[in-house]
Structure 1
Amino acid sequence: MNLSPKAQATRQHILDTGYRLVLQKGFAALGLQEILKACAVPKGSFYHYFSSKEAFGCELLQQYVDDYGRKLELLLAEGGNGQQRLMRYWDAWARDPADPAQGWAEECLVVKLAAEVADLSEDMRRVLDDGVQRLLQRIAALVEEGRTDGSLPAGKAALDVARVLYQMWLGAALLSKLSQDRLPLRQAREATEHLLTCGNTAARLSPPND
């Protein structure tokens, strides 16, 4: 879509505003009129940029996963061995280095929307799942990096370990949101350190191959 700078700014304003609303209310419960009112744009303008609310949702999720990937690479670029870089990522779930008052888990659309979009929209589900699969590959690469540089012991296949860790942190993020307490995230961190530094434990906890 070829847009003028002004039109591109309007489109991005709709996406940014929609993101904040989706974090608060979810996707299905968020009406189009509420989006339009918050953005201060007419319905015709919305449909100029997005063919439907679902198309808007797909674009919002695609932008989210792309931005998440860039944010992760900036975080990892600070250096350190494989274990340190991996733990820096998990620490960011509880406390964002750029804003310690909150963590990445609090603004995670996977935590907020995974169950909802899986039943609501196949296109949205695919966008979110593709983003998760890319993240799992990146986590697995960090595990392999740690094993290569000696900061982590050998163990089960790195991608299996990545899945177990991510599943655990998703659950911790949900419980933290429910209880309004960061304790589940702190406990997930302790469990992560134990799992990563005990190769045999990682092997036992990793999911079986299909």
Structure 2
Amino acid sequence: MKPIRLNIRQHILDTAKPIILGKGFVAVGLNEVLQAADVPKGSFYHYFKSKELFGEALIASYFEDYLLEVEQLLKANGESAASRFMQYWNGWLTSLADKDMQCQCLAVKLAGEVSDLSEAMRLALHQGTDRVIARLAQCVEEGRADGSLPTSLDAAVCAETLYEMWFGASLLTKLRRDPSALESAMRSTKHLLGLST
């Protein structure tokens, strides 16, 4: 007997995420997602009017989950803000190394692929990354306040610069299949933050 799923829409999105991380958005057909989710095609169109709107919902869902993880990592827990901030970047480095240089970030995977194909998906990616950068900037502000990061840092500029650098480094890692770009990003991050290398 099949288990009853209370949220079929979310089940479709959760099932699709690893498939699209592996193959990309354009290469994945709806039938592949629906078969993996064990959901009839008619159900898909009840929840998503088109593949583009499905993609937009997938990105929004990804960022909701991701931001919860980021919040858990960055929230005040007795450690300095600088320590929590560096744990975030260490996570980027180790997650790629643990996955044989295969990026697990849907934003990195889809940014180049869908930004020219779908304005709705581009905006969802843009809004999601802006929210991540804003949370990172908050952590920098906390570091300035607790003395673990230089007070001379502009929190918003610092967060945006670092996120852009790591995003680009992740793309280069996909190309090179080695961690050199991420290792360089880590050195540059420590230098920018005035932390020992």
Q: TM-score range by the shorter chain?
A: 0.7 to 0.9
* Residue 114 (structure 2) aligns with: 117
**Counterpart pick for 1:40 among 31, 35, 38:** 38
Q: Deviations over 1:4-43 (max 9, x none)?
A: x945343232111211111011112222222223223221
* Residue 166 (structure 1) aligns with: 163
* Residue 74 (structure 2) aligns with: 76
Contact map agreement 1:54 1:124 (CA 8 A) in 2: yes
**CA 1:91–1:64 in structure 2 vs 1: closer, same or farther (change >3 Å)?**
same
Offset at 1:100? 8.1
Contact map agreement 2:162 2:189 (CA 8 A) in 1: yes
Partner SS state of residue 106, structure 1: coil
- For structure 1, the 5+ residue unaligned runs are 199-210
Contact map agreement 2:15 2:36 (CA 8 A) in 1: yes
* Residue 59 (structure 2) aligns with: 61
Partner SS state of residue 152, structure 2: coil
Offset at 1:66? 0.6
Higher relative contact order (CA 8 A, sep 6+): 2
The separation in 1 between residues aligned to 2:57 and 2:161, in whole angstroms, is 28
The separation in 1 between residues aligned to 2:151 and 2:73, in whole angstroms, is 25
The separation in 1 between residues aligned to 2:150 and 2:10, in whole angstroms, is 44
* Residue 10 (structure 1) aligns with: 8
**CA 1:190–1:60 in structure 2 vs 1: closer, same or farther (change >3 Å)?**
same
After TM superposition, the structure 1 = structure 2 runs for residues 15-26 of structure 1, keeping only pairs within 5 Å, are 15-26=13-24
Counterpart amino acid of 1:165? Answer: L
Partner SS state of residue 6, structure 2: helix
Contact map agreement 2:101 2:173 (CA 8 A) in 1: no
TM-score (norm 2): 0.87
Counterpart amino acid of 2:89? Answer: W
| Identical columns (%) | 49
**CA 1:67–1:25 in structure 2 vs 1: closer, same or farther (change >3 Å)?**
same
TM-score (norm 1): 0.82
* Residue 202 (structure 1) aligns with: none
Counterpart amino acid of 2:72? Answer: L
Contact map agreement 1:94 1:102 (CA 8 A) in 2: no
Offset at 1:183? 2.5
Partner SS state of residue 116, structure 2: helix
* Residue 186 (structure 2) aligns with: 189
Aligned length: 192
- For structure 2, the 5+ residue unaligned runs are none
* Residue 207 (structure 1) aligns with: none
